Chain A
Amino acid sequence: MARQIGLSVERLEDPTLLRGGAKYLDDLSLPGQLHVAFLRSSHAHARILRLDVSQARALAGVHAIITMEDLEAYLGTVRMPLSASPTKAVAPITPYILSGREVAFVGEAIAMVLAQTRHIAEDAVDLIEIDYEPLPVIMSAKEAIADGAPKVRMEAANNVLNRMHVAYGDVNEAFSGAAYVFREDILQHRGCGHPMETRGVIAEPRMDGSLNVWSSTQMPHDIQTNIVEILGIDDNALRIITPEVGGGFGPKYCAYPEELSIPAAARMLGRTLKWVEDRREHCLTAVQERDQFWSLEIAVEADGRIRGIRGELIHDQGAYALKAVNLPYNSATAVPGPYMVPAFEMKVAIAFTNRVPASSVRGAGYPQAAFAMERLMDLVAKELGLDRAEIRRRNLIPPEKMPYTKPLKARSGAPVTYDSGDYIASQEQVLAAAGWNDFRARQAEALKQGRYIGIGLAHAVKGTGRGPFESGTVRVNPSGQVSIFTGAAAMGQGIRTTLAQICAEQLGLTADKISVVCGDTGLAPLGLGGFASRQLVTAGSTVLLASREVAKKAKKLASHMLEAAEEDLELVDGKVKVKGSDVGVTLGELARVLKGAPGYAFPPGLDPALESDVKWQTEALAYSNTSHVAEVEVDVDLASVKITRYIALQDVGVRVNPMIVEGQIRGGIAHGIGNALFEQMIYDETGQPLTTTFADYLLPTATEVPNFETIYRETPSPLNPLGAKGVGEVGTIPVTAAIISAIEDALAPFEIRIAQTPLLPETLFNLIEDSRARGLPHA
């Protein structure tokens, strides 16, 4: 069995992508298609008094204009189902497929125009007449939950979606018996996901009543469930296909109103419809991770060991929930991270505001938790006069305590158990690589030249491989070609290559001999899709087990055909061969036998098809851990930050394709840099978003992102047959904490305390000015 797992094999996806031949959603053109553009609310909260589409309808090239009333008459409901939920929503928390009475955020879809071209559809949108009665706007989650606050939506009982209480241990005792208690208030905001390809939907109704839907999504199966529920269409008549997906990063993890309105209208009118979200729409309507207000207290022993943490978290959910709300839960429960925290309590309030719904962006609440916890660690270090590494050393979970169970529950109800990893060794290794102990001398030297340099350290753990399962069928065709069908979703991360490698190793092939079909509910009807750094663990394990089954079956059949014992057979170069001889039979020949021929019996003990179908299940999460060190230089007169060095250590278990893992980590860190210093979705007090272009919403570019030095430890997870841990979000999680810590360190002479992300230059400028006003730095 030639090794494939662990090799940086070339990606199968690349040649087509590099030649511009890949077909993303907007690259598909179907005969007779009409183009869709939406009229969207220009108010953050308003009642719609009048909607007149007559002028727009009369425009040449406009085929139809569909409003909430039209949809309601056709569907019987205009409310979105709650996605990613095992149960239906019990309260009116989901958005409308189209809104016609009250709008609760800027960008909410009101009417859809169907026209010959997108240009004409947009012309017609401009001709729709609409009168609004503005209603009170709630922009702050804090204000939203205050007594007597005006309602974000008139239909809701109040502005609180939910309150959660996460706790374990004796928190009161932890604090009453503490040597020290420190307090920190933190404001966090992560902004938008911004995959370079926006969302988009094509719906093609066929004469036979079936419906094909293409969507640029991470969740084709969730969309399938939603459309079936709302349209009442037979499951078998509906197929969701994801074309090439130009990045996910969270925004494509939700099923959106457009993924229902477009299929519904297509069916209603019997026309193929195409909608491609433009970047402005993405800023207005794709989910974001927005404001979280944290108030935290930490109780420590005299030596800095943690006794307990308690606090409150107010989470800005926006006007609706598209799916079961998990972000603030992730944030609250992930606070203890890699540390031993004997007692813990978080009170969480999830508030509606008049903004676009919040949901996961790469990291899904974990970066905020890491930032909160690491800020506390830095605070304790400073107050106790300890090195920032030392305070962590005293509190990190030591390797001998692995597996380490926290008295917390994951969403599945399973206990939070860290399966493996050596957090202390990780820290020592990254500190050594960074020259942590020499930095003070370098810093002093720089300061003599008037330069402010700083270093920061941050850790995180990430539960990866979220279950309960992922599907996979591995099939050898009579041609000898091998196919994998999986419910996993490809969104640019190279999952096809990775799965092919896993399969190839079992079948004695190379990855390029295997084709992988992802994200097509017609070809893999069951599956969960792409989120929570899960697919390598779940789909990878499934494919591993299925491939092993196929290999076993191939050997069993070959043993009949070659008259050799199974133990004497091996899979090499697409053949099952007798070890040490040239005698063998190809996988294709074996597949041909098992394909069956009329009237011919299979050899004893063998059933049809050289294939295996597996749905590997898991409830536990495999915990990746990561330790990052950032170095920065701050120009105090321009209030600007330059990241001068970045070292990232991670333990993501067994790396199937180290090149792809490295790509995930680098991209994740760059995302974190955006979160730390650049990305913020800014609104004015009336709820108008002000950052709806790439000139205003700032993504990091090549001139802001440094080269990264990466280090890998490889502690296999005992929880899955691959020993893998997820990697997609891991790089992002500690970045803001490491960078902010470094900035604070650089500005130590200014005695600045930073408790927010992103740290925009304006904020830094004000902090520096305040310090200067206090006579700092001392001459």
Chain B
Amino acid sequence: MKAPPFDYHRPASLRDALLLLKQPDARILAGGQSLVPMLNFRLLAPQHLVDLSQIDQLQTCVITSEKIRIGAMKSQRELENSAELARVAPIFPEAIRQIGHRQTRNRGTIGGSLCHLDPSAELPTLALLHDAIFEIASTEGVRHASAQDFILGAMNPALEEGEILTHVEMPVWRPGHGFAFLEHARRAGDFALASAGILVAVDSDGRIARLAICIGGLGDRPIRLAAAESELIGAMPGKDMFDRAAAHIAALPAEGSIHASAAYKRRIAETLLKRALETACARAAHMVSVA
């Protein structure tokens, strides 16, 4: 199980990387935690691999109380352990801890996961939940895409040939927001059969003031429950509200796998959604009462 031959490039600048990517059949090598197994299985045979690990620009990370801006080559584990990130967006460490295992998080990158786009992966779900903006460079310049527009399906990012995802930027929710990221897998660290990410803010009466729900793992990509989000504004957290949110799962596209049928995945998603909402609302309420 050895990789097919390829030529290897490790540019020191984004510009060099973009030029190298113009070679025929060139592919980006980020952390390699998804790409290298595919090479070892010979599911892919690119002629050129362009390793982005030495480009400082892609390692930058800016975290303020307004926004998070993360370089695509930041390792998952660095974010998992970032105290700043945990302070402004605590859902990040909670979700990232559930990605694979420590060895793959050490090596796996934010950008790599966001471009590989496994439907169960945590980071695309988080990006969608957080209304992330993807910053994409090419030799022509820089463009931006919303998470909705970028995430087109499994292993299908909205990247044109020769483009590199350089950063992802997300607005930060106000302090005191509730959050939860739950997933269920056959074993700890496996790709989730389904996952649910929640961000929630409650008003002084304890009612839902703002809500974001994203479900991962069901279909070919994570999906925001926009209808549920707007329907539940003003609702009081509680079993009734959780059930109303979960009722929206039935309409989502779902695909079965060898580990779970579509029906089973939906049941998992409903359950996780209810439990995640309960946790997130409790955390939000707790924050309010502390404030």
Contact = CB atoms under 8 A, between A and B. Distances in A.
Interface of A: 118-119, 122-123, 126, 278-280, 637-640, 678, 682, 690-691, 693, 695-696, 698, 700-701, 703-704, 760-762, 765-766, 769
Contacts of A691: 258
B65 to A, nearest CB: 35
B187 A698 contact: yes
Interface in B10-50: 37, 41-42
Given A122-B1, A639-B264, 4 more contacts: A278-B1, A678-B186, A678-B187, A693-B41
A431 to B, nearest CB: 31
Nearest to A35: B2
Contacts of B271: 637-638
Tell me the dominant secondary structure on chain B's binding face: loop
Contact of A703 (B41, B189, B267): B189
A639 B37 CA distance: 30
Residue of A691, A760, A761 with most partner-chain B CB within 10 A: A761
Interface in B180-235: 184, 186-191, 193
Interface of B: 1-5, 37, 41-42, 184, 186-191, 193, 258-261, 263-264, 267-268, 270-272
A356 to B, nearest CB: 18
A690 B258 contact: yes
A762 B6 CA distance: 41
19 contacts: A119-B3, A119-B5, A122-B2, A123-B5, A278-B1, A637-B267, A638-B184, A638-B268, A638-B271, A638-B272, A696-B258, A701-B189, A704-B187, A704-B188, A761-B186, A761-B264, A765-B261, A765-B267, A766-B264
Q: Which 10 A-B pairs have the closest CB atoms?
A: A703-B188, A637-B271, A278-B1, A119-B2, A765-B264, A122-B2, A682-B258, A690-B258, A638-B184, A762-B264
A682 B259 CA distance: 10
A638 B267 CA distance: 7
B86 to A, nearest CB: 23
A761 B267 CA distance: 12
Nearest to A763: B264
A637 B37 CA distance: 33
A463 B188 CA distance: 36
B121 to A, nearest CB: 13
Contacts of B264: 639, 761-762, 765-766
Contacts, number: 68
A640 B260 CA distance: 12
Nearest to B184: A638
A122 B42 contact: yes
A278 B3 CA distance: 13
Nearest to B261: A762
B187 A280 contact: no
Contacts of A701: 187-189
B1 A280 contact: yes
A556 B184 CA distance: 70
Contacts of A695: 190-191
B188 A126 contact: no
Nearest to A703: B188
Contacts of A762: 259-261, 264
A59 to B, nearest CB: 11
Given A698-B190, A700-B187, A761 B1 contact: no
Contacts of B4: 122-123, 126
Residue of B41, B187, B190, B270 with most partner-chain A CB within 10 A: B187
Contacts of B42: 122, 126
Contacts of A279: 1
A561 B40 CA distance: 67
Given A118-B2, A122-B42, A280-B41, A698 B186 contact: yes
Contacts of A678: 186-187
A779 B187 CA distance: 32
Contacts of B258: 682, 690-691, 696
A691 B258 CA distance: 9
A690 B2 CA distance: 20
A546 B261 CA distance: 60
B19 to A, nearest CB: 28
Nearest to B268: A638
B46 to A, nearest CB: 15
Contacts of B263: 765, 769
A226 B176 CA distance: 72
Nearest to B194: A638
A690 B187 CA distance: 18
Contacts of A122: 1-2, 4, 42
B58 to A, nearest CB: 28
Contacts of B261: 762, 765
A505 B193 CA distance: 55
A761 B260 contact: yes
Nearest to A279: B1
Contact of A761 (B2, B3, B191, B259): B259
A691 B37 CA distance: 15
A196 B36 CA distance: 21
Nearest to A117: B2
Nearest to A701: B187
A700 B186 CA distance: 10
A599 B258 CA distance: 76
Contacts of A118: 2
Contacts of A760: 259
A691 B191 CA distance: 15
Nearest to B260: A762
A690 B1 CA distance: 17
A122 to B, nearest CB: 5
Contacts of B188: 701, 703-704
A768 B272 CA distance: 17
B191 to A, nearest CB: 7
B264 to A, nearest CB: 4
A761 to B, nearest CB: 7
Nearest to B4: A123
Contacts of A761: 186, 193, 259-260, 264
A638 B263 CA distance: 12
Residue of A280, A638, A704, A769 with most partner-chain B CB within 10 A: A638
Contacts of B5: 119, 123
Nearest to B188: A703
A278 B186 CA distance: 24
Nearest to A697: B258
B35 to A, nearest CB: 15
Nearest to B271: A637
B183 to A, nearest CB: 11
Nearest to A640: B184
Contacts of B187: 678, 698, 700-701, 703-704
Contacts of A123: 4-5
Contacts of A765: 260-261, 263-264, 267
Contacts of B270: 637
A640 B275 CA distance: 15
Contacts of B267: 637-639, 765, 769
Contacts of A700: 187
Contacts of A703: 187-189
Contacts of B37: 693
A278 B40 CA distance: 11
B239 to A, nearest CB: 12
A203 B189 CA distance: 40
Contacts of B191: 695
Nearest to B275: A637
A678 B41 CA distance: 23
Residue of B2, B42, B261, B263 with most partner-chain A CB within 10 A: B2
B33 to A, nearest CB: 12
A704 B1 CA distance: 28
Contacts of B259: 760-762
Nearest to A278: B1
Contacts of B268: 638-639
Contacts of A280: 1, 41
A766 B188 CA distance: 22
B259 to A, nearest CB: 7
